[in-house]
Amino acid sequence: MLPEFEGKIAVIGLGYVGLPLAIAFSQKYDVLGYDINSQRVAELRRGDDVTKEISTEDLANASKLRLSESEHDLMECNVFIVTVPTPVDNNKKPDLIQLLAASSTIAKYLKNGDIVIYESTVYPGCTEEDCVPVLAAHSGLRYNVDFFCGYSPERINPGDKVHTFTKIKKVTSGSTPTTARLVDQLYNSVIEAGTYLAPSIKVAEASKAIENAQRDVNISFVNELALIFDRMNIDTTEVLEAAATKWNFLKYKPGLVGGHCIGVDPYYLAYKAESLGYYPQVILSGRRVNDTMGVFVANKLVKLLIKKGHKVEGSRVLLLGITFKENCADMRNTRVVDVYRELSDFGLQIDIYDPWASAEQALSEFGIQLAAEPEGRYEAVVLVVAHDIYNQLDFNSFTNAESVIFDLKSVLPREMVDSRL
């Protein structure tokens, strides 16, 4: 048994992944929560988490957590956990700018015996082939002699109040056998669900990549079914419900695939495969199907409007939801924007109503002004995101008998909708 960790932990990046992690570790250890966004740090100091993942009470009770936007505070720490975003660029290639910048910053304060643990989603090999050289070059220290690394892929599920950080089993790894055991022991000390020690950093990195690639491929299959059954005038949801009566049928549902994981991670795996001379077919074909669903939804709605006798140009449409998933404020990589833009090209007047979303963020990132509430009558209403709060809406107050109601999530009563995805 290794001795209990007595140093200080730094969590770099206080977003959807970093903040819950920092809160959990601060229940037992001294933790520095560091973020370059001074506004974000100031909000958290006031007890306000705009992601709505951590309550004001939990922030107030985190007595061992110190929040800072000053990188010099990192010099006090011995373990550095990196949770910065790893998106893709406009060409669907991995964007490591924030990851490498964080590594460069940490390197200034690395000391003998320190450990850097990465949680950001990457392709297999990224930690040791891309991040470690930055750490070594900027610190002047030797890898696996003076400093060490670990990788523990994040498994945060935004909006999920059941499968929280401590309730999800965590994969861990380290650059040496001793480091691996230290990293595993550190996480295991705060995670109720326990840990799984992977045999290498690359295995841990790969496990994260395939978790979401697998879901992406499965969803792309049912999305393709939706495209096929639409041409047959068959309700896809009814087909899936019938098929699900078999014990080993996997009941995935069609829909828009966005967010920070499923819509991004497969590109990391594909990028690495292509760099080695293998061009993945299944992974990228699944991505192509899922990336076209916004256009399909928009065109389907236009057909529904025409079928009910509406003039397309100038018709008012209400989109319910802009976040990438239900009961969550996260708008990262939301594909609702694809629907919005395609409908705009048809000349439709579109309102988006989403009480979960930040109006300021929607305007700054997408140029979309969110509606404070449904206003007037709409020729069409599309339930895009199944927030529970929409169950309280009185659809009769903003629709009439001729309005089109399109339920992408198959949660509304069947008799009230014109079509489901």
Averaged pLDDT, 308-331: 95
What pLDDT, on a 0 to 100 scale, did the predictor assign at position 158? 80
Contacts of 281 (CB under 8 A, 6+ apart): none
Q: Tens digits of per-residue pLDDT, 75-122?
A: 999 999 999 999 999 899 999 999 999 999 999 999 999 999 999 999
Using CA atoms, how far residue 175 sits from 116, 127, 288, 391, 418, in Å, is 10, 10, 36, 49, 56
Averaged pLDDT, 401-413: 95
Q: Which DSSP string do the residues of 198-260 spell out, in sequence order? A: -SSHHHHHHHHHHHHHHHHHHHHHHHHHHHHHHHHT--HHHHHHHHTTSTT----------TT
What pLDDT, on a 0 to 100 scale, did the predictor assign at position 7? 87
What average pLDDT does the structure give for the chain? Answer: 95
Position 370 in a domain: yes
Say which CATH number the domain at 34 has: 3.40.50.720
If one counts the domains in the chain, the total is 2
- Domain that includes residue 194, residue range: 8-199
Position 239 in a domain: no
The residue out of 148, 172, 199 marking a domain boundary is 199
What pLDDT, on a 0 to 100 scale, did the predictor assign at position 95? 96
305 and 192 part of one domain: no
Position 39 in a domain: yes
Position 327 in a domain: yes
181 and 38 part of one domain: yes
Position 319 in a domain: yes
Position 228 in a domain: no
Q: Tens digits of per-residue pLDDT, 126-174?
A: 999 999 999 999 999 999 999 999 999 998 888 778 888 899 999 999 9
* 403, two tokens: 């309005």
Query: How far is residue 58's CA from residue 79's CA, in Å, rounded to a whole number?
Result: 23
Position 265 in a domain: no
43 and 177 part of one domain: yes
Look at the block and give the residue holding tokens 């899922």.
290
Q: Is the per-residue pLDDT at 2 higher than 80?
A: no
Q: Is the per-residue pLDDT at 185 higher than 90?
A: yes
Q: Given pLDDT bands bounded at 50, 70 and 90, which one contains residue 249? A: very high
Residue type, 210: I
Position 261 in a domain: no
261 is catalytic: yes
25 and 153 part of one domain: yes
Contacts of 364 (CB under 8 A, 6+ apart): none
* 276, two tokens: 């080695």
> Are the CB atoms for 385 and 354 separated by under 8 Å?
yes
Half-sphere exposure of 33 (CA within 13 A, CB side): 28
Q: What is the pTM of this model?
A: 0.93
